A and B are shown apart, each in its own frame.
Chain A
Amino acid sequence: MASAAAVLSVAVLAATALGFGAARWGGANLSQLEEWALGGRSFGTVVSWFLLGGDLYTAYTFIAVPALVYGVGALGFFAVPYATIAYPIALVVLSRFWVVARRRGYLTTADFVRDRYGDRALEIAVALTGVVAALPYIALQLVGMRAVFAQFSTLGAAGALPALTIAFVLLAAYTYVSGLRAPAMIAFVKDALIYATVIAAIIVIPAKLGGWEHVFSSAEAALARRPHPSSIYLAPGQYFTYASMAFGSALSLFIYPHSITSVLAARSREVIRRNAALLPIYSLLLGLLALLGYCAVAARIGANDASNVVPLLFARFFPGWFAGLADAAVVIGALVPAAIMCIGAANLFASNVFREFSPERSPVRTLVAKLLTLAIAAFALLVIFFVPVPFAIDFQLLGGALMLQIFPAFVLGLWTRWFHPKALFAGWACGLAASCAMAITSGFNANYTIHVFGGSLTGFIALYSLVVNLLVATALTALLRARRLSGGLDRTTAADYA
C-alpha cells in the first residue's frame, strides 16, 4: 500500500510540473484569450488525439462503466455502442462547426447561435445549459479521484478529502496559468498510464480468474443469484432502453462545452476528420475495461460503493507499485478532463452570459475567463463536499438530458435556418421541463417508462425530452412562419460553411 501511495504521489506531482511547464509551450502570449483558452487553435492530429481522448474518456468513465456492468450486467455495456456511433455523428457535425467557427472566430456553441439567430435569449439559454451540464460532470471526476484516495485512508471517503482538495487546487492553479495547453500536455502522460494499466489488467486479471469463459459463466451465475437478479444478456424489455441510451448519449457527447473546446483547438478541419476515425481506438479500451466489471463479479469483490470496484480489483491482482500506477492513471485521468471542462464552461460564461450583461459588450478579457475557471473548479469541489455521491450521478444523467436540448438550435442550425429562434427557445424550455419532470417522477433514474397503445416503452429521458423539444420547435416555427413574423438576423453566409 505504501509503495502504491508513493508512485501515485510522484505521478501527480509530475503531472503538475508538466501543467505549469505547458505555459512555455510554443512561446505563446497567454494574455490572448484564444491562446489561453484554445491553445492558439494550433493543435495537429497527434496532440488533438491525446487531448480529445483525455477529454472524452475520463476517469469517471473508467470507474463508472465497469461499476455499472458490475451492478446491472449487460445493460451497462451500452457505453460501447454509444462510444462507437458517437464518431460518425462527430465527423459530420464537428467538421462543419469547425469551419464556421474558424471563419468567424467563435469560442463557443453559443457564439454561433448568437450570429445565426440574432437572438440574445437563445444565446444565453444555450450558454447556461452548457455551464449547468458541465458542473456535475466536473464533480464526477472528483468522485473518480476520491474512490482512489479513499483506499489509502482508514477513514474511507472522508479521509480522502484532504488529498482531493490538494489535487484540485493544483489543477486550478496550472489551468489558470497555462490554459488549455496544460491538459493537452498532461494528456500524454494520462494516456500512457491508462493504456499500460488497461492492457495489463485485461491480460492478467482474466487469466488469474481462469480465462474469459470462466469469468462470463461465473458472472452470469452470480448475477442471477442477486436480490435484484440481472444477466450478462439483455432481457427483451431492455432492447429499446439499451439502444436509446446509446443513441441519446452519442447525440449529446460532442455538444458538451469540454468537447467543443478541444475540437476548436484543432489546427484544421482535416485534423477533426482524421480524429473521428482514430479516436474509436479508445472505445475498444473502454469496452475491455467494462468487462472488468464481470471480473470483479467473478472474483467476488464486494463493494458497498460500486465506484470502488476498479481500485479494489487493481489492489487485489497487482503488486503495490503497479496498483499505484493504475491509481495514478485514474487520478490524472480525472485531472485532464476536469481542467478542460472548467475552461469550456468558463468560456461559455465569459463570452455568452457575462458579456451579454456587461454594459458595452466589450471583447472578453482573458482575466475574466481565467477567474471564472477558478470559480467553477471551486464550485465543483463544494458540490463533492456537500452532495452525496448517488445524487452527483443523478445530476450527471440529468445534465446529459439538459445538454441535448441545445441540439436543435446548435446542430440543426448548422444546416438549416428554417427554425424560428423564438420557437427554438420554447422547444428548449419545454425539453428542459420535460427532462426535469421525468427525472423527478422516475426517482432520478436515467430511464422513463411511457405507456402508449396499451404497451410500455422504457427509454432514455434525454431522448424523450429531445422529441418534445423538436415537436414544440417545429409546430411553433410553422405557426410563426404562417404569421410572417421576422425570424431575426442571420449574420452567417453560405460561404462560412463551405
Chain B
Amino acid sequence: MHRARYVLLVLPFVGTLIPPIYNHARPALFGMPFFYWYQLAWVLVTAALLGIFVGVTRERRNG
C-alpha cells in the first residue's frame, strides 16, 4: 500500500496523454463528441483521485 498509492497519481497521465484512445466522435454525450467529454471527464476523475490520495496519506500520518 505504501507505494501503491502513487498509482493514483500516474493514472491521469495514462488517461490523457495517449490521444489515439480518445480521438473519436462516438459515443457522444449531450451532442458532445467523445474526444471532448472524455477529456473533460478526466478533469473530474483526476480531482477525485487526488482527493483520495490526500485523504489516504493524511490518515497514515495521524494513525
Q: How many positions in chain A have a CB within 8 Å of any CB in the partner chain?
A: 40
For the complex, count residues of B whose C-beta is within 8 A of A.
33
**Beta-carbon contacts under 8 Å, B6-23 to A:** 9-10, 12-13, 16-20, 23
Number of A-B pairs, beta carbon distance below 8 Å: 103
Residues of B within 8 A of A233 (CB): 23-25, 33, 35
User: What sequence of 0s and 1s flags, for each residue 366-377 of chain A, a beta carbon within 8 Å of any chain B beta carbon?
Assistant: 000000000000
Interface residues of A in 196-255 (CB under 8 A from B): 211-216, 232-234, 236, 238-239, 242-243, 246-247
| Chain A nearest Cβ from B27, distance in angstroms | 13
**B29 to A: closest C-beta gap in Å:** 9
A13 close to chain B: CB less than 8 A: no
B42 closest partner in A (C-beta): A84
Whose C-beta in chain B lies nearest to the C-beta of A280?
B47
The segment from A60-68, A270-278, A305-313, A425-433 that touches chain B is A270-278
Q: Are B12 and A283 in contact (CB under 8 A)?
A: no
B3 within 8 A of A: no
Judge whether B19 and A216 touch: CB under 8 Å: no
Contact B54 A284 (CB under 8 A): no
State in angstroms the CA–CA spacing of A61 and B42 once bound together: 20
**Across the interface, do A239 and B50 meet the contact criterion of CB distance under 8 Å?**
no
- The answer, among B16, B36, B51, for a CB contact under 8 Å with A85, is B16
A79 → chain B, closest Cβ, in Å?
10
Choose from B28, B35, B43, B57 the contact partner of A84 (Cβ within 8 Å): B43
Whether a CB of chain B sits under 8 angstroms from the CB of A80 is yes
A276 to B49, CA, bound (A): 11
Q: Choose among A88, A213, A280, A281 the residue that contacts B13 (Cβ–Cβ < 8 A).
A: A88
Residue of A nearest to B9 (CB): A88
* B31 proximal to A (CB < 8 A): yes
Residue of A nearest to B20 (CB): A239
Give A64 Cβ to nearest chain B Cβ, in Å.
18
Kindly report which residue of chain B lies nearest to residue A210, judged by CB atoms: B31
- Separation of A278 and B39 alpha carbons in the complex (Å): 17
Interface residue from A85, A234, A278, A287 paired with B47 (Cβ < 8 Å): A278
Cβ contact within 8 Å between B16 and A280: no
Contact residues in B for A243 (Cβ distance below 8 Å): 17-19
- Neighbouring A residues of B24 by C-beta, 8 Å: 233
- For the complex, what is the distance from the CA of A214 to the CA of B28, rounded to whole Å? 13
Asked if B33 and A88 sit within 8 Å, CB to CB, the answer is: no
Chain A residue nearest in CB terms to B11: A88
Q: Assess the A239–B46 pair: CB atoms within 8 A.
A: no
Q: Is A188 an interface residue (CB 8 A)?
A: no
Shortest Cβ distance from residue B62 to the other chain A in the assembled complex, whole angstroms? 11
CB <8 Å contact, A212 and B43: no
Q: Which of A233, A234, A238, A239 has the most CB of B within 10 A?
A: A233
Q: State A137–B28 Cα separation when bound (angstroms).
A: 36
Smallest CB-CB A-B distances: 9 pairs: A213-B31, A212-B31, A81-B16, A277-B50, A88-B9, A280-B47, A277-B51, A239-B19, A243-B17
Taking A81-B17, A247-B17, A273-B54 as given, write out 4 further A-B residue pairs in contact, using a Cβ cutoff of 8 Å, ordered by the A residue number.
A74-B23, A91-B53, A247-B13, A280-B47
Which B residues form the contact surface with A (CB < 8 A)? 9-10, 12-13, 16-20, 23-25, 28, 30-33, 35-36, 39-40, 42-44, 46-47, 49-51, 53-54, 57-58
- Can you report 20 A-B residue pairs in the complex whose CB atoms are below 8 A from each other? A77-B35, A80-B39, A84-B43, A88-B9, A88-B13, A211-B31, A215-B31, A216-B36, A243-B19, A247-B13, A270-B58, A276-B54, A277-B54, A278-B47, A280-B43, A280-B44, A280-B46, A283-B43, A284-B44, A291-B36
Where the two chains meet, the residues of A that have a C-beta atom closer than 8 Å to any C-beta of B are 74, 77, 80-81, 83-85, 87-88, 91-92, 211-216, 232-234, 236, 238-239, 242-243, 246-247, 270, 273-274, 276-278, 280-281, 283-284, 287-288, 291
